[in-house]
Structure 1
């Protein structure tokens, strides 16, 4: 029989995703076949799966920790925010609808069969399923129809370990407060707790652990110090992306409101000689940047308006006049063109808007979404790059005749006449070591043999070691129940 354990958090961003990845790698190294599972996720940083769908980026990393290819069953419901009050609903990897949060709250319970369908398929493939919750189960106002936390744990009969984040303060209140507000039946599902993101001497919180255990009757499973190399792993939450000072080559990235698939930044941040600077709204684009990289967006037209509202369009023109380079990926590529046409109202009311005008291309928004893993070749060097496309819209125009990637016998992307302005739809370019080295060398970086993929696996092993040292992994695994 397959066993399962669920990792929930006493709040958002307590480190659940990383702990699941670390536990998955630790259990895999013990000879178990392990699979990750998150019933419902909310993220615009999606991964394309082997079965042609999309899931949260964190589940793709967790799959890697298990030695598996990402699959839509690992995250059956994905919510992709498109506005302050609405999101696209993706079920089993495919877009189902777009709806407001209030409406989704009313219908989410109808998705439990789809969630359990995926969970049951995974059960036939693994000895252990490590489940990740979403947000916090203490949000009891959302309990009715819940599929993300206790609603799923109860329906599937999965015991829970609750994680508190001491870095933000008030961790005793986080955990004891959760115990106080949960219904008795939900509270009984929680078997253990652990403290994450501790800085300093962990023995100083020994009394705190005793207090939590006494007030909850949950088994304490460790105080986990801050994992300093967390930045080396792909981030899922936009809250987790930050500037990284690593060397003299400066890449500036404007932080769009609906920034999406920003895993393109991870290999750059980890490369010696490179500093990635995330430009917050209200800040100017720096005048000394070697490259301005406009990332993907879940809502290109809205984010283009946001880009202009910050005055970044003026900063970008100044950067180009100084001879600076610009790269737009996916939504950023669409923004660089002369016009975006959305006559069908795919992203909102039907409209046609002027682009930034740095590439002579036009994008027409279409209902059909391109969602596929791809392998391409960098035309200038022959370097092979592997990644994915995840977008709506078709881009055409004179500058596509200077495509700088080769994909299935056709050109992909566009470039200005002097080659300093480039765009493409392909995500994952910079994970290819040879291409990344050539690209950065053209910016002035020293050639490097840095292997990004190896560094991710090395960091996953280090994370597993970290948990084996500071967390009672034996007890966590022993608490897993047959499902």
Structure 2
């Protein structure tokens, strides 16, 4: 029978996603048939799957660590925030509904059968499923109807490993405190703990780990040092990109309030001559940027209004007057046009809003979502690209006659008359080494490096070795049931 184990965190952002990727790749290297699973994720950074749906980007990376293509069963419930109190609910890869947080809390129990259905289907014929929790089980106020942490572990009868983040400080309190607040039935599911993100000599925490084990009765799986090359892997949080090293060619990226599918940035931050500068609200777009890249958005109209409220529309116009270049992808592409028409009221009251006016296109938002894996060609260089489309709406207008991509002979994208402003719906195109090199060199960057995809796999191998070296993986696997 397929075994499974669940990695939960003593808090948010303790590194669960990377832990699952590293453990999964280590198990694959050992010869096991492994798959990742996350019952519920909350992220606007999604991936399109081979079976025509969407899942969290982190699960796509974990699938890659397992040597698998992303599938909808790996993340059966994906919440995509649209406002501070509501989100689009994706169930088994497809849009299910849009709900307020309070209403979703009542609906979670009804989703559990579909979550379990995906879990059992995914496990067919495999040796191991590594399950990732969400947030922390210590949020006992969310325990009723839970499908993300202990509620799912109980329904699937899974053992749990609890991870703490020492980089934040207070890791003993994180882990021991979780033990203290959990009800007995949940506490007893936790079989072991590990400490993540230690900077320095991990043996210096031996007494701390012993104190945790003494107070909880859980097995100590080890203290995992900080993995310095994590920045080379696709980021789950856009702010993870802000700390990455860079070079002389500056790409300014305004951090939209509902920024989505920013994996377009990952290949760029791996370029030694490129700095990707994430521009936080309240900060002007820098005057020394060579390129302004406006990324995707989960709520294009709302983010366009916020773009203007930040004064970025004025900064962008000045950037173009100075001879700067602009690239809009998906929602960013829509914002660059003349207007956005939302007659169905998809993003708010029916109507239309003026765009930034740098591309002669009009976008009509439509209820049907486009979800597709795409192979295309960069017309200017002839270089092949591949990626995905994940959007509502279609864009038409004079500037689409100057399309800069070709998809099966169909023109894609738009270019302004002066050639300085480009837009398209295709995410992920910078992963193609030849295109990335041609595009950056045309804008004046030094020759782009090659091998982005290879470096991702090399880094996953290094992460697996990191896990093997510092964690008791044999004991972890022995706990799986």
State the TM-score, normalizing by the size of structure 2.
0.99
Structural mapping, 1:97-112, within 5 Å: 97-112=97-112
| 1:69 alignment partner in structure 2 | 69
| 2:251 alignment partner in structure 1 | 251
Q: Does 1:296 align with 2:296?
A: yes
Structure 1 SS opposite 2:95: strand
Residues 380-401 of structure 1 deviation map (CA, whole Å, 9 limit, x = unaligned)? 1111101000000110000000
CA–CA distance in structure 1, aligned partners of residues 228 and 203 of structure 2: 19
Q: 1:442 to 1:54 in 2, by over 3 A?
A: same
Mean Cα deviation higher: 203-212 or 248-257: 203-212
| 2:92 alignment partner in structure 1 | 92
How far apart are residue 36 of structure 1 and its match? 0.3
Residues 239-288 of structure 1 deviation map (CA, whole Å, 9 limit, x = unaligned)? 43315342111100000000000000000000121111000000000101
- Conservation of the 8 A alpha-carbon contact between 2:166 and 2:196: yes
| 2:25 alignment partner in structure 1 | 25
CA–CA distance in structure 2, aligned partners of residues 76 and 244 of structure 1: 31
How far apart are residue 122 of structure 1 and its match? 1.1
How far apart are residue 209 of structure 1 and its match? 0.5
Structure 2 SS opposite 1:289: coil
CA–CA distance in structure 2, aligned partners of residues 123 and 83 of structure 1: 35
CA–CA distance in structure 2, aligned partners of residues 26 and 113 of structure 1: 31
CA–CA distance in structure 1, aligned partners of residues 119 and 346 of structure 2: 32
Structural mapping, 1:444-459, within 5 Å: 444-459=444-459
Residues 438-463 of structure 1 deviation map (CA, whole Å, 9 limit, x = unaligned)? 00101212223421000000000010
CA–CA distance in structure 1, aligned partners of residues 329 and 227 of structure 2: 30
Structure 1 SS opposite 2:394: strand
Structure 1 SS opposite 2:88: strand
Structural mapping, 1:325-474, within 5 Å: 325-474=325-474
- Conservation of the 8 A alpha-carbon contact between 2:374 and 2:389: yes
- Conservation of the 8 A alpha-carbon contact between 1:39 and 1:75: yes
Structure 2 SS opposite 1:47: strand
Q: Which of structure 1's runs of 4+ aligned residues deviate more than 6 A? A: none
Q: Does 1:190 align with 2:190?
A: yes
CA–CA distance in structure 2, aligned partners of residues 150 and 430 of structure 1: 39
- Conservation of the 8 A alpha-carbon contact between 1:50 and 1:71: yes
| 2:236 alignment partner in structure 1 | 236
Residues 9-58 of structure 1 deviation map (CA, whole Å, 9 limit, x = unaligned)? 00000000000000000000000000000000000000000000000000
CA–CA distance in structure 1, aligned partners of residues 293 and 399 of structure 2: 18
CA RMSD of aligned residues (A): 0.8
| 1:146 alignment partner in structure 2 | 146
CA–CA distance in structure 2, aligned partners of residues 203 and 245 of structure 1: 29
Structural mapping, 1:260-279, within 5 Å: 260-279=260-279
Structure 1 SS opposite 2:188: helix
Mean Cα deviation higher: 230-239 or 467-476: 230-239
- Conservation of the 8 A alpha-carbon contact between 1:403 and 1:413: yes
| 1:280 alignment partner in structure 2 | 280
Which 5+ residue runs of structure 1 have no aligned equivalent? none
The number of equivalent residue pairs is 481
| 1:169 alignment partner in structure 2 | 169
| 1:320 alignment partner in structure 2 | 320
